Structure 1
Amino acid sequence: MGRKKTILLIAVLFLFAISGIYFTNADAQYKAAPAKKGVQAEKSVKADSCYGCHPVIKELHSSGKHSKNLCSNCHKELDKHLKAPGPDTRPVTDTSWEACGQCHKAQYESFMKEAYHRPARDEKSQLTNRAPNPFWDKLMAGHGFTKEHNLTRSHNWMLIDHLIVDRAYGGRFQGKNSWQYLFEKGKAWEVLKDNYPDVKEHKAFIPQSAAAANPVCLQCKSQDHILKWAYMGDPVEGARWSRTSNVVELVKDLQHGLNCFTCHDPHAAKPRIVRDGLIDALTRPDGDTLWHKDPKRTGIKVIDMGMRGFTRKIALLDKYDTRLQCGQCHVEYNCNPGTDTKTGEAVKMGDRRTNHFPYKDVFGLYEHYVNKVNFLDWKHALTGGLLWKAQHPESETFYNSKHAKAGVGCDSCHTPKAKDKKTGKVYTSHFAVTPRVQLKETCLKCHTKWTEEQARYAIDSIKAHIRGKMRKAEFWLSALIDKVVEGKKAGLAEDVIKQAQDQHLRAHILWEYWTAENSDGFHNPEMARESLTRSVDESMKGIKIINDAMAAKTSAK
């Protein structure tokens, strides 16, 4: 009998043990992120507690790899909100890199890695850079980018670099430790200071600077304010920030450069885009973008995330597509006021054209801006003609290139796969940098017969060829500008000057696109060569218009 009791006791204890293991594992499926050092641990909150009021989040969260993650991993101060849901008790959403880095450690560490292959504040207008002077300042006369226009630096510094550049905030923001800011990583306002904190006016404070930044510029620098910004930046009730906000006040609400959730949906753990201008372009009824014309285009699902009384959209992608994800920022878009080409009236930040993506290559931009959108950026200081200002159009340039058609993505060359030295797991490096820095992991993966020296030689040869074409385009643009000025001084008819100014605009677009595009044409050398040589042709046509009119005027005398 004693033996039977012993066996029964062991069986009962075994069942309790099994039950304990089961319930422990069940709870463990709801993964709590490790607490940060020095921060009081939040009370764990499971997703079921939030699903009732957030059906859209439920659909996303329950569909992906994050389905077992706790809401309290990324949302803090949930107790008050759960007890009394409403706008006054909204939880604090952690938009930091560390929020994702707690679990995605290898990706986080690679993202925070420094790129020292080129200096900071390396102006494109330097003699050996992409758009050297003396032509740059002449060809862009009257535009803020003549104050300072730099080559790129690491993603984690992009907000800081935007805040401190001379053309953006008039020099009001500087490093707390002077030039030591170059090495300091972290929240922007732990690194920088406002030298004029009591001045709310957005203006220039130091010589040869400009206050050209505006709220739309910041959409490509940070998404810290994603929950406070309505679709397209419309100034609507409930949205704290909009296209028309005081940008000096807005930037004080931002801390991080490129956020993880810009490309990765934190609820569904799926690829996405959040940039409203791109979503707007991809959903235009006329279907005129590169993406629309691509028979193999990646599908998107647009979702309205507006839970705060205003529309806010994201778009999930059917698969990872870096042309779209990187194309949220590495893209041509308008982000500033300008002039209506039909009426001649000012286009101000209240107009949606100040947050606009064409998503077309260089050959479609004249027609798009002049005849479809009726918008141009600024008036050239010497010719008086309206011109267009390019933003970094890498995505559109690469879209139909030979590399893209071969299945190469932005990630193949700039954020390749890497192996964790400790775990042996393969992950996507988030150290976004030129492939020249990591040739073995990029170029040589496909070009297996090349050496690193040969890969570097191929890159440099293509870039050298295109830079040569850029210099020729600049020479002829400069000559055209001189001719227009000469024609105006000579009193040529207004219609003649307008024709020449239009030729200037055409030639300018075909050239300046490549000063903003950050590969010296490497992303699509065939397109670059055609565009730049056509720029020369258009400049020559403009010069001929003035010369013919001058000859006719002389002959008439």
Structure 2
Amino acid sequence: MRKHMFFSWAVLTGLLLVAIGCSDVSEPTTPTYETNLSSDEIKNSAFKSEFPLHYETYLRNDESEIMTEYGGSVNHNKNDGVNPLPEGYKYAQPYLKNLWLGYPFSYEYRRARGHTYALKDILEIDRINRFSEKAGLPSTCWNCKGTKMLEWTDEYGDSFWVKDFNEFREDVDLDENTIGCANCHDPKDMELRLYSVPLKAHLESEGKNFSELPRNEQRALVCGQCHVEYYFQDEKFGAAKKPIFPWAKGKDPEDMYEYYKNTGDTNIPGFEGNFVDWVHPVSKTPMLKAQHPEYEMWYNGSHGAAGVGCSDCHMPYVRLDGKKKISNHHWTSPLKDPDMKACRQCHTDKTPEYLRERVISSQEKVWNQLLIAQDLSVKAHEAIRMASEYTGPKPFNYDELMIEAREMCRKGQFFWDLISAENSAGFHNPTKSLDTLASSQQYSQKAIDKAVEAASFTTARDLAGDIREIVPPILEHSRELQMDPDHMASHKWFEYIPLLPESEKVWEGNERLTSENAH
């Protein structure tokens, strides 16, 4: 009996000690730093001596030769499924140039490389006009490309956005000022901070203070400064060309689409007051160009809803120098790691092979629906073109049918573009991606149906075949090619855009090739 009682007291005492011990364990705290840097330091190399191991991993963003199944960092043309890497890739969307015709994205759209290439790539991309002193796009396009934004917005305020992009080409160091430490950290103490004017404005509109938000939310938002959908504000609503996040009604596709209905100054019949990025020259449809809504897709997906942040997957902890545990600042896909370590932090019972197959299987389903949505968007533009050029007897409600067809075309392409532009091939939120693409297909089909009805059903037979034979994909198109009459005669849709005057290239990267007074 005594032995039994002693055992019971020993067990109870042990449990009490465990309980007391556990109650004394504090929540893990974020490391604090006091560097030799000032808060306004923007040069990336300045952080090397302070954080050599972190900086070593940051430089790994220079990698630009590894592809995953549906993504990667080889800087290929995303519409080119004909040529091999590095020009094209097997998973291409062949109609990108058709769908963006008349908009700078139709000139060139490439797979993004690492963040260290942000400045180099934007200065070479054909979307920015290098054949003129004037870029044709505002300074807003610099917003997510580097640390100079911290100086420019401080110096110019809201007058910065409407300036010409090319005005600042010679003001950047391609290595020192590309996306880096100062975009996410205060150099003085390395606290997380926001540099993004549009995100600061959005948080303010919600009565939130970034410094008071939970740490996990802060970690996601520093990525959400740029990996988001946004637009350039019309002057009627405030500072011209200022970037704005369309989240006032919510972050889902329907919410953002509804938001855009009342934030523009267009007078196009049927679209009065809508925001419009450009009017598609073939269908005369006022269009929206989606950006890269990784944050909006992630936040209510399975990982986001469970509290798994961007950095948990894209900045997993690594050990360098044999013992030091740091966040990996090589921001890339977990799929590039054969051991899938980032995923196995949580999925400890799964093999790397199983996890990889799960990701790719999910992406495959989204990709297949993405291509169907893309084809239907092209057919919608062609159906509207045919109906607009139809000269036979028209139904009494022809104008209303054409407005509705263009509305559905605009909405269908925007929903397709949200998933097309999102950089995970749907994996950040597979359910939302598939639902968005299903809606895109339905809207585009409604556009086709209304346009056929507007043409008194006379165009139905011409639209019944394979869209790739009706409207071939545009494989090559650029500003320089648009100066060539032979090229402009090579596709029937090119007759809806102007032949550009011959011009010499003015810019190569951040260097001027000709005298400023030569043009």
Question: TM over 0.5, yes or no?
Answer: yes
User: Per-residue deviation at 1:247?
Assistant: 2.0
Counterparts of 2:260 and 2:290, CA distance in 1: 12
Q: 1:325 to 1:553 in 2, by over 3 A?
A: same
Residue aligning to 2:422: 517
Match of residue 325, structure 2, among 408, 423, 426: 426
Residue aligning to 1:367: 258
Q: 1:141 to 1:271 in 2, by over 3 A?
A: same
Residue aligning to 2:244: 356
Residue aligning to 2:335: 436
Which amino acid letter does the alignment assign opposite residue 229 of structure 1? T
1:110-150 superposed Cα distances (whole Å, 9 cap, x missing partner): 000132314542121122466511x2222221111111111
The aligned runs of 1:324-335 (5 Å cut-off) are 324-335=221-232
Does 1:383 pair with 2:307? Answer: no
User: Per-residue deviation at 1:497?
Assistant: 1.5
Residue 232 of structure 1 contacts residue 277 of structure 1 at CA under 8 Å; is this kept in 2?
Answer: no
Q: 1:403 to 1:411 in 2, by over 3 A?
A: same
Residue 66 of structure 1 contacts residue 269 of structure 1 at CA under 8 Å; is this kept in 2?
Answer: yes
Does 1:161 pair with 2:121? Answer: yes
Residue 41 of structure 2 contacts residue 182 of structure 2 at CA under 8 Å; is this kept in 1?
Answer: no
Any unmatched runs of 5+ in structure 1? 1-62, 76-92, 173-198, 203-210, 236-241, 293-298, 302-314, 341-346
1:204-249 superposed Cα distances (whole Å, 9 cap, x missing partner): xxxxxxx4543111110012241331499412xxxxxx11223223
Which amino acid letter does the alignment assign opposite residue 273 of structure 1? L
Structure with the bigger RCO (C-alpha within 8 Å, sep 6+) is 2
Match of residue 243, structure 1, among 153, 161, 164: 161
Counterparts of 1:473 and 1:378, CA distance in 2: 20
User: Per-residue deviation at 1:459?
Assistant: 1.4
Q: Which secondary structure state, in structure 2, belongs to the residue aligned with residue 269 of structure 1?
A: coil
Which amino acid letter does the alignment assign opposite residue 105 of structure 1? P
Residue aligning to 1:107: 54
Residue aligning to 1:344: none
Larger Rg: 1
Counterparts of 1:233 and 1:130, CA distance in 2: 42
Residue 469 of structure 1 contacts residue 529 of structure 1 at CA under 8 Å; is this kept in 2?
Answer: yes
Counterparts of 1:367 and 1:324, CA distance in 2: 24
Which amino acid letter does the alignment assign opposite residue 505 of structure 1? R
Q: 1:472 to 1:231 in 2, by over 3 A?
A: farther
Residue aligning to 2:470: none
Which amino acid letter does the alignment assign opposite residue 142 of structure 1? G
Counterparts of 1:169 and 1:410, CA distance in 2: 34
Counterparts of 1:458 and 1:534, CA distance in 2: 24
User: Per-residue deviation at 1:431?
Assistant: 0.4
Residue aligning to 1:542: 447
Does 1:300 pair with 2:209? Answer: yes
Match of residue 475, structure 1, among 375, 395, 401: 375
Does 1:398 pair with 2:294? Answer: no
User: Per-residue deviation at 1:387?
Assistant: 0.4
1:302-329 superposed Cα distances (whole Å, 9 cap, x missing partner): xxxxxxxxxxxxx675424332110111
Counterparts of 1:167 and 1:250, CA distance in 2: 16
Residue 140 of structure 2 contacts residue 165 of structure 2 at CA under 8 Å; is this kept in 1?
Answer: no
Q: 1:525 to 1:537 in 2, by over 3 A?
A: same
The aligned runs of 1:34-45 (5 Å cut-off) are none
Counterparts of 2:43 and 2:90, CA distance in 1: 34
1:374-427 superposed Cα distances (whole Å, 9 cap, x missing partner): 4110110210111001111101110111011222111111111111234x1211
Q: Which secondary structure state, in structure 1, belongs to the residue aligned with residue 228 of structure 2?
A: coil
Counterparts of 1:325 and 1:334, CA distance in 2: 19
1:483-514 superposed Cα distances (whole Å, 9 cap, x missing partner): 10111011553332111101111111110111
Residue aligning to 1:41: none
User: Per-residue deviation at 1:269?
Assistant: 2.8
User: Per-residue deviation at 1:351?
Assistant: 3.8
Counterparts of 1:225 and 1:548, CA distance in 2: 50
Q: 1:161 to 1:332 in 2, by over 3 A?
A: same
Percent identical pairs in the alignment equals: 27
Q: 1:97 to 1:332 in 2, by over 3 A?
A: same
Residue 362 of structure 2 contacts residue 427 of structure 2 at CA under 8 Å; is this kept in 1?
Answer: yes
Q: CA RMSD in A?
A: 2.7
Q: Which secondary structure state, in structure 2, belongs to the residue aligned with residue 547 of structure 1?
A: helix
Q: Which secondary structure state, in structure 1, belongs to the residue aligned with residue 143 of structure 2?
A: helix
Match of residue 43, structure 2, among 83, 91, 96: 96
Residue aligning to 1:117: 66
Q: Which secondary structure state, in structure 2, belongs to the residue aligned with residue 168 of structure 1?
A: coil
Counterparts of 1:330 and 1:532, CA distance in 2: 20
Q: 1:547 to 1:225 in 2, by over 3 A?
A: closer
Counterparts of 1:418 and 1:214, CA distance in 2: 40
Residue aligning to 1:37: none
1:449-482 superposed Cα distances (whole Å, 9 cap, x missing partner): 3222222211111111001001111121122111
Residue aligning to 2:101: 141
Query: What TM-score comes out, normalization by structure 2 length?
Result: 0.70
Match of residue 447, structure 1, among 342, 347, 352: 347
Residue aligning to 1:54: none
Q: Which secondary structure state, in structure 2, belongs to the residue aligned with residue 216 of structure 1?
A: helix
Which amino acid letter does the alignment assign opposite residue 361 of structure 1? D
Counterparts of 2:92 and 2:201, CA distance in 1: 31
Residue aligning to 2:9: none
User: Per-residue deviation at 1:169?
Assistant: 3.8
Tell me which moved more, 495-504 or 222-231: 222-231
- When the two structures are aligned, how many residues end up with a matched partner? 394
The aligned runs of 1:70-219 (5 Å cut-off) are 70=36, 73-74=37-38, 94-113=41-60, 114-115=62-63, 116-118=65-67, 120-127=74-81, 128=89, 132-133=93-94, 135-170=95-130, 201-202=133-134, 211-219=135-143
Residue aligning to 1:226: 150
1:67-124 superposed Cα distances (whole Å, 9 cap, x missing partner): 5x44xx448xxxxxxxxxxxxxxxxx54111212211111111000132314542121
Counterparts of 2:53 and 2:276, CA distance in 1: 44
Q: Which secondary structure state, in structure 2, belongs to the residue aligned with residue 265 of structure 1?
A: coil
1:37-95 superposed Cα distances (whole Å, 9 cap, x missing partner): xxxxxxxxxxxxxxxxxxxxxxxxxx99445x44xx448xxxxxxxxxxxxxxxxx541
Residue 506 of structure 1 contacts residue 535 of structure 1 at CA under 8 Å; is this kept in 2?
Answer: yes
User: Per-residue deviation at 1:350?
Assistant: 7.9
Q: Which secondary structure state, in structure 1, belongs to the residue aligned with residue 139 of structure 2?
A: coil
Q: 1:64 to 1:471 in 2, by over 3 A?
A: closer
Does 1:319 pair with 2:215? Answer: yes
The aligned runs of 1:46-65 (5 Å cut-off) are 65=32
Counterparts of 1:231 and 1:410, CA distance in 2: 31
Q: 1:129 to 1:158 in 2, by over 3 A?
A: farther
Residue 76 of structure 2 contacts residue 110 of structure 2 at CA under 8 Å; is this kept in 1?
Answer: yes
Q: 1:213 to 1:421 in 2, by over 3 A?
A: farther
1:334-361 superposed Cα distances (whole Å, 9 cap, x missing partner): 14x7xx7xxxxxx699844541111423
1:152-192 superposed Cα distances (whole Å, 9 cap, x missing partner): 2111111111111222243x6xxxxxxxxxxxxxxxxxxxx
